[in-house]
Amino acid sequence: MEKVLETLKTLQDILSEKISLEQKIQEIPKLLIKQEELLARMKKTYIEKSLECEKAKAAESEYRNSLFEAEAKREKAEKNMESISTQREYEALDKEIKDAAGLEQEFRNKLQREVRNVSELNEEIKQSQALIDQQEAELEERRRDIEKEIALKESQLKALSQKENDLASDLNDPDVLFKFERIIRNKMGKGIVAIKGGVCMGCHMILPAQFANTVRQGEEIVFCPYCSRILFYEESEQSEEDLFNDEDSGSLSDLDDMEDEDYDEDEEEDEKVSADYDD
């Protein structure tokens, strides 16, 4: 049994390292999430700017056409000015020229504004595209690094699994191995601990002296009734008599004796009350 316990201690280190590697392999790809989210936001901004630029170009084209029409209308009115014969015709044509000139100036201003807007949006789109290209390159490089890191850890994991299989063959009990690995996963890498001074060093619960003696004898694999870890005996600085004195440490049977005493006292009290009542 001593050899089995030593095997379990060695196996504990291997399983703990194996579980740690498995967790790291699962966590590594999460490092890319922030970069991928940043890239997605960049692409969204790029699309929004592109749509905005298309609208600005459409507005620019519309104002350019309107300006052309206003200029043509003004020029036509100015040309007709040479053929007028009355004051009324002059005033009407003069008003038409001024209105066309006003529209012409309005469309020219709007056109200039949209031209600047298109130019600025094109520059922003160009910068966004450059940032996207840079981010994609960095992300791809990071993916390659992560793939190498995962491959390395999987190689280490494979080697640990081989060591685990070699040690497991010495146990000759698959059920114990299954329970042991589950305990290590649930108990932060600790599946086998010492019992010292009648106390489990895993959960620090005081165990009955008879139970501690069973662990000390080392004739079978014993699990802590509180934390489920496998226990092995370890000498304490206190004397053996102090550690395994039934009167001091108690046992599960002591609880039954205490309950019986309490029951007898309660029964005597009830009889006394009944006698007083009869008198």
Average pLDDT over residues 29-47: 91
The predicted structure's pLDDT at residue 1 = 75
Q: Which residues contact 15 (CB under 8 A, 6 or more apart)?
A: 164, 180, 181, 184, 189, 191
Q: Is residue 28 part of a domain?
A: yes
Query: DSSP class of residue 219?
Result: S
For residue 156, which of 21, 4, 5 has the smallest C-alpha distance? Answer: 21
The predicted structure's pLDDT at residue 237 = 64
Q: Are residues 23 and 98 in the same domain?
A: yes
d(CA 189, CA 15): 8
Domain count, the chain: 2
For residue 176, which of 23, 18, 1 has the smallest C-alpha distance? Answer: 1
Q: Are residues 195 and 112 in the same domain?
A: no
For residue 198, which of 209, 189, 190, 187 has the smallest C-alpha distance? Answer: 209
In the chain, the percentage of residues whose pLDDT exceeds 70 is: 85
Residue 35 CB-density burial (10 A; 0-12 exposed, 13-18 middle, 19+ buried): middle
pLDDT-wise least confident of 38-42, 150-154, 178-182: 178-182
pLDDT-wise least confident of 51-65, 124-138, 146-160, 227-241: 227-241
Confidence of residue 278 (pLDDT cuts 50, 70, 90): very low
The predicted structure's pLDDT at residue 247 = 37
The predicted structure's pLDDT at residue 272 = 44
Q: Is residue 186 part of a domain?
A: no
Q: Are residues 158 and 208 in the same domain?
A: no
State pLDDT tens for residues 93-120.
889 889 999 999 999 999 999 999 999 9
List the CATH number of the domain containing 137: 1.10.287.1490
Q: Are residues 159 and 243 in the same domain?
A: no
CA angle 80, 85, 88 (to 5 degrees): 90
Domain around 115: 2-169
